[in-house]
Structure 1
Amino acid sequence: MYETLEIELHKGVATVWMNRPEVHNAFNAQLIADLTAACRQLDADEAVRVVVLGGRGKSFSAGADLNWMKAAGQASEAENFADAMKLAGMLRALAEMDKPTIARVHGAALGGGMGLASACDICVAGEKAVFATSEVKFGIIPSAISPYVIRAIGERQAYRYFQTAERIAAARAAELGLAHEAVATEELDAKVAEIVDALLQGGPKAQAAAKALIRAVGNRPVSDAVVEDTARRISQLRATPEAAEGLTAFLDKRPAAWVPQA
């Protein structure tokens, strides 16, 4: 269905493979459009519980396609703004999916590739993965990806890496909070599968609500409005059929109805 993607579906898990290996899965207009559409399609599919994003070939994603960047350099400001909005829209579609998302990172995750890894809820990196916000080397800035990278590594670290464009090894990415796990390359898929299995134990509506909760509460001071909002969110969920099933399953010592059967 998608020119630049392959999507595999297995027992509620959708693995989205960026499939431009000859250019290390670099972004162009088609890949941006395909990822935007795929995120929306998969988020609307009730059969999909978890989305894993990976890259075919040697890299996760090397950022912007050089030919695409060259064309952008010759385009008008209005045309550049339109392109930037499409990229920003794709990242937001990924970041705001109701479903849990995991970035499976191997090889290069540079520029926009680091943005994708940051926009996913969870990032698992192979030990040879390398990240960078490399934009300043091209005389530009990591603008569209900045909300997600800063969310992942914090402002203090962003001041360094946005300006130096230094390469960040997998172990360092884990120290920064960009990667949740940095594992041996041969263990990458096993670690992703382990996290997927943990995610499949949770209630789908509760997980979507948990993501919305983080967005609502993160980086806000504890105020009367925040306290009231958190109380309202839990009170609304307690009355749902999913919550009733979760409690009943726990008391009956059985898997909840949403847990895939072996």
Structure 2
Amino acid sequence: MSNPIADPLVEVPDFSPTSELVRIVATRAGAVTVIMHRPERKNAFNADLISALSEAFETLRGAEGVRVVFLRGEGGTFSAGADLDWMRAAVDRSESDNREDAFAMAHMLKQLWDLPALTVALVEGGAFGGGAGMAAACDLAIATAEAKFSFSEVKLGLIPATVSPYVVAAVGPRAARGLFATGQLFDADHALRIGLISEVVADAQALAAAQARISAEILACAPGAVADAKRLVSDVYAREIDHGLMEETAKRIAQARVSGEGQEGVRAFLERRKPDWAPGAD
């Protein structure tokens, strides 16, 4: 498939989801934004939104030319977490039905986590429950100074189960225990201190500027190397640094050095030119 991402801020027909609850728009060549589109419910999750996000992530995973995927909510709120009507219906379902329902959320988060392109959450307003979990599942998360976060499930007698792998990976077990057990509301500065987000900006305008900056930065990076670098972190995290791991990492860099991207990147550097994946390359 040829790369359809060219014009700024236009919907991309080749990537258009079948649901109106999610929009995919191009921000510049190689960059797309996935927009949760339930502003009347503050982009709260229900089965339909989860399904639409799964479809979007599956489409983007196999798409040619996608270098960075931004995720945001329509209407000034990232996501209010679980939809009240969805929660109300869950009370009357069996454990088996609830398991199937919850697995759809778990699967959608894993699809986001597994995207080969860089993923960046753009957080405004609130990011609660599953919304905060989606921010944790992205490679980077940038929030405006007024953004608020919470994992408040315990206040309803529940637990943040499906988001927990991503939150624990982002903030560590001790911080996660405190956040999960208290359900406390916290601000963007605290989220930055514990590692849930990567950067705090002043307002929506600064958030748009950060998005443009990251879009430009990622285009200087080899797309295959970006995907491999993300996979490398998952594969080496928390492993003992033994002979086997040293052999594995040595093999990976050797493979990278003889790959097409590795050869092109080093040659371009030595020849003082841009590599062929970068804008403006000859």
TM above 0.5, yes or no, is yes
Match of 1:194 in 2: 213
Match of 1:40 in 2: 58
Q: Does 1:18 align with 2:36?
A: yes
In the TM superposition, 1:130-149 aligns within 5 A as 130-149=148-167
In the TM superposition, 1:174-253 aligns within 5 A as 174-185=192-203, 186-253=205-272
Shift of 1:176: 0.6
Question: Which of structure 1's runs of 4+ aligned residues deviate more than 4 A?
Answer: none
Q: Distance in 1 between the 2:89 and 2:230 partners?
A: 37
Q: Which runs of 5+ in 1 are unaligned?
A: none
Shift of 1:98: 0.8
Alignment RMSD: 1.1
Match of 1:254 in 2: 273
Match of 2:6 in 1: none
* Secondary structure of residue in 1 paired with 2:82: coil
Query: What letter matches 1:241 in structure 2?
Result: G
Q: Distance in 2 between the 1:158 and 1:147 partners?
A: 10
**Identity score, percent:** 45
Count of residue pairs the alignment pairs up: 262
Match of 1:72 in 2: 90
Deviation string 1:80-113 (CA, Å, 9 cap, x unpaired) is 0001111000000001111110000000000000
1:14/1:50 contact within 8 Å kept: yes
Q: Which has the higher contact order (CA 8 A, sep 6+)?
A: 1
Query: What letter matches 1:11 in structure 2?
Result: A
* Secondary structure of residue in 1 paired with 2:142: strand
In the TM superposition, 1:59-98 aligns within 5 A as 59-98=77-116
Deviation string 1:110-135 (CA, Å, 9 cap, x unpaired) is 00000100000000011011111111
Query: What letter matches 1:47 in structure 2?
Result: G
Pick which of 247-256 and 200-209 moved more: 247-256
Q: Does 1:5 align with 2:22?
A: yes
Q: Which runs of 5+ in 2 are unaligned?
A: 1-16
Shift of 1:73: 1.1
Shift of 1:261: 3.6
Shift of 1:65: 0.6
Q: TM-score, normalised by structure 2?
A: 0.91
Shift of 1:6: 1.1
* Secondary structure of residue in 1 paired with 2:218: helix
Q: Distance in 2 between the 1:261 and 1:30 partners?
A: 41
